[in-house]
Structure 1
Amino acid sequence: MSPRKSTRTRREFRLTFLGATGTVTGSRYLIEADGRRILVDCGLFQGYKPLRLRNWAEFPVDPASIDAVVLTHAHLDHSGYLPRLAAQGFKGTVWATRATRALCGILLPDSGRLLEEDADHANRNGYSKHHPAEPLYDEAQAQQALRLIRPADWEHSFEPVPGLRARLRPQGHILGAAAVTLEQGATRITFSGDIGRSHDPVMLPPSPPAASDWIVVESTYGDRRHGSDPLEQELLTVCRRVLARGGAIILPAFAVGRAQLLLLLIARLQQRGELPRVPLYLNSPMAADVTALYERFAGEHSLGPDDFALLHERVQVVGSAEESRALNARSGPLIVVSASGMLTGGRVLHHVRAFGPDPRNAIVLAGFQAGGTRGAALAGGARSLRIHGEQVSIHAEVVSLQAASAHADSDELMAWLRSAPERPRGVFVTHGEPDAADALRLRITHELDWPAHIPEYRESVDLLGPTISGSPS
């Protein structure tokens, strides 16, 4: 671990990229400002094993030397490492919007519980290489980490550490998602977090970026545009086809945002008689709790009372593990929405094991599938998945919805950057697979004539310097 410097002979404002480089996961940005250390985001690495192993590696700086964390939003690739960081000695304040703090209160304990269950399952069935298998963190450690989170109001300046100002602006994407602007003296840097869509059916459009010297922008869909067909039409087409043949539809969905949207669109189609009123299940206690938060934070999205009334009327929430197992014994036609969205864990894996081998059924992927995940393997044509130590043959139809993402596409990313009130000194392109990040970098360079750079893992930049060091031409 690198030592913490307590004295400085000159002003310091430095950024080090500890994650979200060459991948869409592990969002972690270290800011060092006059002897203080701040993390923007504290996410889990997901997907390929070499990335996941970083979660277990020694943190690049002593966690006890970090003074504060500022979260852009609650998704685990942005917040899910917090319990591990706290368990290793971090005792500072975590700043987040009120909705993000509420969502973390659901997501982080659930993550710890799933990690415990996975380790227990591996130990009972003997398929782990580690004896005994241990979770990265447990539910109790997640609960401890939640005590560190303090709410920050939208558009109100606050000091995560003395001398450094911060401000959060709405970004759409999911409930509570924010862009983070940090200001030291006359120098500003804005972290986009995950940028929502301009016409999302649930979330409000993202705010323009604040005037900044530097912008760190995500590039999840930096190399592609979302499909032109509305998501409702995509759902109608696939659901009609599968239900007509008596199949079951398994919809892996992120518990925050996408699960609520998919359920609402299907319920509307059933209400209008465009889809048969087959059983519609939500098998994710976490997603059910998240739906209640959307009702609580009604001003931060476009859903209204009638939408929630329809969800309560049409959706059957699966509560216990016993009910979940009983659902696997059923046959179609039926529709099940369950987390996680990239098939990295949770109850949906049991549904894939149960329904995946039958060609009458369908697995419908709704959202980005990070490289190295089971979802990415299915989207890429895999017909077998390793689940709980066993190979499961997949003969079900696999469909990837093109319009389901909560991330801005390449045109929307460029529109967000163009809305900046002034030209930045440089843009750092992160949170994307290599092809996507480089495609966005080229568009920024050629269309905006702004310096743009794709940072490497653990690359460090002096934000008080005049240019991006090592930026490609």
Structure 2
Amino acid sequence: MSLPPATLTFLGAVGTVTGSRYLLEVSGRRYLIECGLFQGPEAVERRNWEPFPVDARSLDAVVLSHAHIDHSGYLPRLTALGLRAPVFCTEGTALLLGILLPDAGRIQEEDARFAAAHADREGIGPADPLYTEEDARRALARLRPAAIGAWVVIDDLVSLRFRRAGHILGSAIVELRVDTGNGPQTLVFSGDLGGYQRDVMRDPETVEAADVLVVESTYGDRTQDRSHLREELAAIVHETAARGGVLVIPAFAVGRTQDILYLLRELEDAGRIPALPVFVDSPMATDATEIYCLHHADHNLRVDLPMDERQCPLRCRDTRFVRTPEESKALSRRPGPFIVVSASGMCSGGRVLHHLKHRLADRANTVLLAGYQAAGTTGRLLDEGAESVRIHGRIVPVRARVAMLHGLSAHADRDELHRWLAGFVRPPRATFVVHGEPAASAALTDALADRGWRASVPAAGRAYAIGEAP
């Protein structure tokens, strides 16, 4: 039995927050919306190695909502598999991908070399990289940046418009006009939605109509209390400084690092924290911060001066951007008090692991987690009160204080998701709830059903006819 003229198949981000990939097929053509890596525990990450369900050469276009690796990081793999299609994204996303994807390729190669050198150990990943830095650079050549708000004709069947999502720089809601053969249809993919009245990012744009909606649900079952954010951060800085300790803040290079730098600068200017040295120990975060300073369209910051100027709102009195491995290693020997902001945000890799290895055993220090920690990550273990963690093959005792800074997530919470969904003049004919752990997705689905929406969590791998009820 042949498929209907237009179908949507969910290849990832179902029952999990990573691996966003949605395959739209229209009259024999194929369009991939999102191209993300699965991230988290080893069993989840191994899904990246499964055969892609269609020939990469058969894709007619790829569309990315934003630069985070769980939405873009599979693109170099598709390129290695023969992708020939253009890849549409916003201008801000293209800038960030220029630093994120090559870095992801380098990490893949480093992980593969480590696996090859320790092939006799259980639990070590594949000895071949999923893709290389060169694959990532070839993927960048396929990017077709588009301005937010402008309609772009992909071909005679599909047109595209990006709407501001407010999540990170360049993040967008994806709006597609599709000629399904049974009349035009509007498909809207929320991507990752930001919240409202945030310090750095602008509010997500209201969308009023869609025939089919695919909406994220990361915080579909809970709210974020931001009312005490500054007080909590100031108290932790003061307490750590009083002990002569080091405050280690694991943070994603894009978005979270800039939020933290902004808050530290604001608190310092108000005299609410001491003027400590602040080290940003992540080359990617340094590059991303420079992009924020140069690309003003998506955020609220006044960054008329270069990043190395005191007036830049992303710099404290003594902010230092660490680039070389030698500078990073020197921080491990430096006595406190000082603050180090380093990737990755879930402590699943990057230079922050070196800082944790050297600082966790000392009660004078503090590790400040600044957002959601996925199951299976070192960050989740720390958040759950682990007495020790394994880092680089070594068991490290946890004696430092571990705290969580609530309210910094770049995702809309439950109430903000409902506020954005309330912008629709009438319910879409079908709403698919994705990008959430099962409880979060179920909560948002049930809430929409209570409002009379036809909503469900889609089945992974199933092809849904456009306009079909969930």
TM-score (norm 1): 0.93
- Aligned residue runs from structure 1 range 164-175, under 5 A: 164-175=158-169
Greater alpha carbon shift after TM alignment, 66-75 vs 178-187: 178-187
Which residue is 1:3 aligned to? Answer: none
Structure 2 stretches lacking a partner, 5+ long: 305-310
Q: 1:372 aligns with which of 360, 369, 376?
A: 376
Question: Does residue 1:108 correspond to 2:112, yes or no?
Answer: no
- Aligned residue runs from structure 1 range 188-203, under 5 A: 188-203=186-201
Identity %, equivalent residues? 46
- Aligned residue runs from structure 1 range 247-326, under 5 A: 247-305=245-303, 308=312, 311=315, 313-326=317-330
Which residue is 2:110 aligned to? Answer: 117
Question: Does residue 1:83 correspond to 2:76, yes or no?
Answer: yes
Contact kept, 8 Å, 1:428 with 1:454, in 2: the verdict is: yes
Which residue is 1:217 aligned to? Answer: 215
> How has the CA–CA distance of structure 1 residues 22 and 398 changed in structure 2, closer, same or farther, with 3 Å as cutoff?
same
Question: Does residue 1:55 correspond to 2:48, yes or no?
Answer: yes
Structure 1 stretches lacking a partner, 5+ long: 1-7, 469-473
Tell me, in whole angstroms, the C-alpha distance in 1 between the residues paired with 2:103 and 2:398. 28
Contact kept, 8 Å, 2:18 with 2:71, in 1: the verdict is: yes
Which residue is 1:439 aligned to? Answer: 443
Structure 1 residue 270, shift from structure 2 partner: 2.3
Contact kept, 8 Å, 1:127 with 1:389, in 2: the verdict is: no
Tell me, in whole angstroms, the C-alpha distance in 1 between the residues paired with 2:168 and 2:154. 23
Structure 1 residue 280, shift from structure 2 partner: 0.7
Tell me, in whole angstroms, the C-alpha distance in 1 between the residues paired with 2:314 and 2:343. 21
Contact kept, 8 Å, 2:13 with 2:20, in 1: the verdict is: yes
Instruction: Return the letter of the residue paired with 1:407.
Output: H
Q: 1:178 aligns with which of 149, 172, 181?
A: 172
Question: Does residue 1:350 correspond to 2:351, yes or no?
Answer: no
Give the SS at the match of 1:53: helix
Contact kept, 8 Å, 1:267 with 1:310, in 2: the verdict is: yes
Give the SS at the match of 2:350: coil
Tell me, in whole angstroms, the C-alpha distance in 2 between the residues paired with 1:125 and 1:51. 21
Which residue is 1:458 aligned to? Answer: 461
Structure 1 residue 43, shift from structure 2 partner: 0.4
Which residue is 2:365 aligned to? Answer: 361
Structure 1 residue 64, shift from structure 2 partner: 1.5
Greater alpha carbon shift after TM alignment, 8-17 vs 311-320: 8-17
Instruction: Return the letter of the residue paired with 1:462.
Output: A
Tell me, in whole angstroms, the C-alpha distance in 2 between the residues paired with 1:375 and 1:217. 26
Structure 1 residue 309, shift from structure 2 partner: 5.6
Tell me, in whole angstroms, the C-alpha distance in 1 between the residues paired with 2:13 and 2:149. 25
> How has the CA–CA distance of structure 1 residues 67 and 274 changed in structure 2, closer, same or farther, with 3 Å as cutoff?
same
Tell me, in whole angstroms, the C-alpha distance in 1 between the residues paired with 2:29 and 2:314. 49
Which residue is 2:307 aligned to? Answer: none
Tell me, in whole angstroms, the C-alpha distance in 2 between the residues paired with 1:230 and 1:441. 30
Instruction: Return the letter of the residue paired with 2:6.
Output: F
Contact kept, 8 Å, 1:122 with 1:388, in 2: the verdict is: no
Number of matched pairs: 459
Tell me, in whole angstroms, the C-alpha distance in 1 between the residues paired with 2:116 and 2:172. 39
Cα deviation, 1:36-83, whole Å, max 9, x if unaligned, reads: 111111001001222101111111222111111100000000001100
Question: Does residue 1:152 correspond to 2:138, yes or no?
Answer: no
Instruction: Return the letter of the residue paired with 2:110.
Output: E
Cα deviation, 1:13-39, whole Å, max 9, x if unaligned, reads: 111000000110001111001111111
> How has the CA–CA distance of structure 1 residues 126 and 58 changed in structure 2, closer, same or farther, with 3 Å as cutoff?
closer
Greater alpha carbon shift after TM alignment, 307-316 vs 262-271: 307-316
TM-score (norm 2): 0.93
Instruction: Return the letter of the residue paired with 2:397.
Output: S
Contact kept, 8 Å, 2:250 with 2:352, in 1: the verdict is: yes
Which residue is 2:408 aligned to? Answer: 404
Cα deviation, 1:420-456, whole Å, max 9, x if unaligned, reads: 132211211100011111111111111x210110112
Contact kept, 8 Å, 1:227 with 1:402, in 2: the verdict is: yes
Cα deviation, 1:109-161, whole Å, max 9, x if unaligned, reads: 11111222233344456675569823222211111110011111212222334
Cα deviation, 1:270-328, whole Å, max 9, x if unaligned, reads: 23322122211000111111111112211321011376266175311111001101111
Instruction: Return the letter of the residue paired with 1:456.
Output: A
Cα deviation, 1:194-235, whole Å, max 9, x if unaligned, reads: 000111110000001241011111000111110142422221
Structure 1 residue 175, shift from structure 2 partner: 0.4
Give the SS at the match of 2:315: helix
Greater alpha carbon shift after TM alignment, 388-397 vs 190-199: 388-397
Give the SS at the match of 2:312: helix
Question: Does residue 1:449 correspond to 2:452, yes or no?
Answer: yes
Greater alpha carbon shift after TM alignment, 153-162 vs 45-54: 153-162
Give the SS at the match of 1:305: coil
Greater alpha carbon shift after TM alignment, 410-419 vs 130-139: 130-139
Give the SS at the match of 2:447: helix
Give the SS at the match of 1:25: coil
RMSD: 1.9
Tell me, in whole angstroms, the C-alpha distance in 1 between the residues paired with 2:115 and 2:338. 31
